[in-house]
Amino acid sequence: MYKLKGSRFNRVNPAQLLWRVFRVLASILILLIVVLAVSTAVTVLRSGDDSFVPPVLPLTVNNVGKLNAVRVGQVLRPESIADVQAVLASTSGRVSIGGGRFSQGGQTAYPDSLHLDMRSFNKVLNIDTAAKTVTVQPGIRWRDLQAAIDPHNLAIKIMQTYANFTVGGSLSVNVHGRYIGEGPLVGSVLRLKLLLADGSVVDASPNTNADIFYGAIGGYGGLGVIVEATLQLEDNIAVERRVRVMATEDYAQHFRDNVRDNSDVVFHNADIYPPHYNRLRDVSWLATDKSPTVAERLIPEDKDYYWQVKTAEFVASSNFGKWTREHIIDPVWYYPERVEWRNYEASYDVAELEPKDRSEYSYGLREYFVPVERFDEFHVQMRDIFQRNKANIINVSVRHAKADPNTILNWAKTEVFAFVVYYRQGTDAAAKKAVSVWSSEMIDAAISLGGAYYLPYQLQASPEQFLAAYPKATDYFALKRRLDPNNRFVNLLWVKYYPKNRDLLAQSKTDLGNYYRSEEQTFLTIPEWYLVFQPKEYADYLAQGRDPSNFPFYESIEEYWVLYDRAIAISRQSYPANTEYRTMLRVIGISTTLEYLAKGAYEGSIGRFTRWTASGEDTEEDKLIQQAHRAYSELIYDEPWYEFDFAGWRDRLWAETSLWGDHPLRKWERKLFFSAEFGLKSLYAKAIKYAAQSTYGETDKRIYLTAQRVISNSIRLPKEPDGVEMLAGGGDDFLMSVPRRGDFTKTMPRFASDEWAISDISGNHQIVVSLLGLAGADVSGLAGRELFRSVLVSDDERERIFVLVGVADLTRFLEALASKASEQQIELEHIFDY
């Protein structure tokens, strides 16, 4: 090759020319990649709906741990005995009872039950200063009771460390505190009133209806509703703090010599320091004549606990944090002389422990009781279990309790030490499983030494462990059958351990391995499924002969992130974060944003130009591309997207369309663009398929549910709806499997026309449904709770409506929808499985 320079020709090296061309093209490609990456990042950051205020879901009852959200059927906030009697008389279903909701395993709720929220039933009925007694309604918090008795210089005799709990809830779990010379709360209860399932009110005390008295206290709401209690009080005195650090192995002897029989000790606990568990700190409060160094008589309710919460997070974050607490933070904290009123020391607020967010991590309690003479044996076993399982223990607080021989479900059958374990855990399934492993080992260790475990926490103990720890449970069950013959008072604790509620299909569900799914995923799958809805919307758009250059790709990006933000905001109210699923949603959202930005930019420029050259007409390539997008939109309803035959459709484009013809520029542009798009997707799909199968194995294609026959008196054998497989039966329940994905939505309406009622799907009791209808369509008459709406990006006259439906109401919802469909022009789009 030659170039003209002056009057002479000079030879140019072809390799140099090619290298220059390559460098120019590479620079352009890199520039395009950078522009696309920056555009994607900016678009993701600017998209979404940060201002969305999620609708309050009042029928979801959760507890402080945020790991056990339960959808109840109705919530009643009674203010009197008559309110409770009236609702019991007017209903016949299950009833659950909740107070402060500090139990951590669903002990206050039951799916689709009438839930009695007792917190408005909270009056002080009488204070007898001479006898030092007080009579209260059960919904009152200990902190409010303290405010009422402190002016009389009276104090609570026995309560737990934190004052946010309700009295009724504390009675139901038979709490204990840090009081030396005392035992469980029952020791300070003079009498109570219990409202039974038939509406009658029974007076109970240690001398009157003693079986009811000792069954209701520590009975977890299974016998009836505690509606009144009379408690013994003590004088409010000044107490002085004394602190001593020692080896854990020296504690038992120290306690016997210096604490147990010391009448001056009012409060006492010993904090064992993880991760080595070989040192502890005795913190005792002794009666004193000294003037208080703290002016307040009660801890102010508006106190700021910012630094306490941050310190707990720091301690939980690493072994260094735990070392810092043991050797720096606590020595500084406990160094000054401190004298307080007894009421002040008993008015702690759980806010000092409450993290700002429990979505990715939650803090929990476990508690184990062992006879005092077995302390040394247990703490060695405890240390081994925690260290071997790498449990993230923040603190182990040792308390003391006298024997409680009388309550039926007594955890202190003899004089015991209570090991109160405060820990941090992740909120995903793997973290929950890990906690259940070490907790089960701890339960076995306590039982082997003649002890027990405490029932207000996560319900991971087996029925065998429960009966071993609470051998008089059979007496409790007999009493329940007498007082509550129709089994109206139920919660998740008694679902697991009361024989009448025992799930006869439990073993079948366990054998399946994947029966249970996380309920929050019915919300989190909303944005994921938009990537199924949007291709259908695009295919419908193309089928109408509309210009692909005008399709709202950018609006589709915005819609994905809006749905993402809204789904996260709604699920965050009651459920853990499910970090793994949220990460997946972000990854596919970013990749979709990248794809739609590139496609939107291309179709809006080159694609628009070639469409103009074709006078807006579809070429045969356009028509085949329309078929490909239709085929893709149909496949992904039932199969993962990477199963689509991108390469096959690319090859069809070249095999089934001519090389030349009308509008050649459009024809060749469509051939090249479609080939590039589907060629890249073919390679990407293979990579994603390999990664998904390597990580998760084969995709689950069935989901499971439990159903009951509606026509129970029929003599003919039950027949499952088409597409459903019956796997097992137990009592009135039948275990069934249903196809997942799109077939799930097609199959579930068949239950509405058959003789079945569904009680749970994958162990869950609420599910999200999306509807398509004209803008402003009325869905108020349906048996569900509207969550939000969004306009279809390609048709602003139609809306997508998201509704939360109780699983037990799903068939009724679908029947009502079918009758309303033509009138309101509403149709079922999708039922979001888990």
Q: Which amino acid is it at 106?
A: G
Instruction: Give 649's DSSP letter.
Output: H
Q: What are phi and psi of 612, to 5 degrees?
A: -65, -40
Would you list the DSSP string of 811-826?
HHHHHHHHHHHHHHTE
Point out the residues of the chain with pLDDT beneath 70.
1-12, 58, 695-698, 711-718, 754, 824
Q: How far apart are CA 379 and CA 386, in angstroms?
A: 10
Q: How far apart are CA 649 and CA 574, in angstroms?
A: 45
What are 328's two structure tokens? 């720096």
Determine the pLDDT at residue 623: 94
Ordered alpha helix ranges (H), 67-226: 81-90, 142-149, 167-173, 210-216
Determine the pLDDT at residue 233: 98
In a 3-state reduction of DSSP, which class is residue 711? coil
In a 3-state reduction of DSSP, which class is residue 262? coil
Determine the pLDDT at residue 717: 60
Please name the residues in contact with 16: beta carbons below 8 A apart, sequence gap of 6 or more.
Answer: none
Query: Do the Cβ atoms of 324 and 315 come closer than 8 Å?
Result: yes
Q: What are phi and psi of 348, to 5 degrees?
A: -60, 150
What are 749's two structure tokens? 């309406």
Q: What are phi and psi of 522, to 5 degrees?
A: -65, -30
Strand partners, 617: none
CA distances, 428 to each of 104, 360, 433 (Å): 16, 8, 9
Cis peptide before 535 (omega within 30 of 0): no
Q: What are phi and psi of 450, to 5 degrees?
A: 85, 20
What sign does the CA torsion over 225, 231, 236, 239 have? negative
Strand partners, 230: 135, 191
CA distances, 151 to each of 129, 693, 810 (Å): 11, 68, 54
Q: How many alpha carbons lie under 13 Å from residue 436 in its C-beta half-sphere?
A: 13
Query: Do the Cβ atoms of 614 and 560 come closer than 8 Å?
Result: no
Query: Do the Cβ atoms of 769 and 666 come closer than 8 Å?
Result: no
Q: Are strands 114-117 and 74-76 parallel, antiparallel or unpaired?
A: parallel
Q: How far apart are CA 708 and CA 717, in angstroms?
A: 13
Query: Do the Cβ atoms of 308 and 354 come closer than 8 Å?
Result: no
Q: How far apart are CA 435 and CA 442, in angstroms?
A: 11
Determine the pLDDT at residue 807: 92
What are 798's two structure tokens? 């139609």
Q: How far apart are CA 743 and CA 727, in angstroms?
A: 18
Determine the pLDDT at residue 621: 94
Q: How far apart are CA 546 and CA 33, in angstroms?
A: 30
Q: Are strands 756-761 and 452-453 parallel, antiparallel or unpaired?
A: unpaired
CA distances, 307 to each of 93, 315, 650, 652 (Å): 46, 12, 61, 66
Q: What are phi and psi of 456, to 5 degrees?
A: -80, 5
Nearest to 565 by CA among 584, 585, 580, 593: 585
The residue ranges of every structural domain in the chain are 1-46
Residue tagged 């009144």 (tokens): 228
Please name the residues in contact with 766: beta carbons below 8 A apart, sequence gap of 6 or more.
Answer: 60, 71, 519, 522, 804, 805, 806, 807
Q: How far apart are CA 199 and CA 226, in angstroms?
A: 12
Please name the residues in contact with 586: beta carbons below 8 A apart, sequence gap of 6 or more.
Answer: 564
The packing angle between helices 646-656 and 664-696, to 10°, is 160
Nearest to 769 by CA among 735, 800, 747: 800
Return the H-helix or E-strand segment holding 31. helix 14-46
Q: How far apart are CA 708 and CA 703, in angstroms?
A: 17
Give buried/exposed letters for 6-42 (b at 16+ CB in 10 A, else e): eeeeeeeeeeeeeeeeeeeeeeeeeeeeeeeeeebee
Instruction: Give 229's DSSP letter.
Output: E
Would you list the DSSP string of 732-755?
TEEEEEEE-THHHHHHTHHHHTTT
Nearest to 316 by CA among 385, 379, 363: 363
Note the pLDDT tens digit of each residue in 579-596.
888 989 999 999 999 999
What are 462's two structure tokens? 């087996």
Nearest to 219 by CA among 475, 567, 415: 475
Q: What are phi and psi of 18, to 5 degrees?
A: -65, -40
Q: Which amino acid is it at 746?
A: K
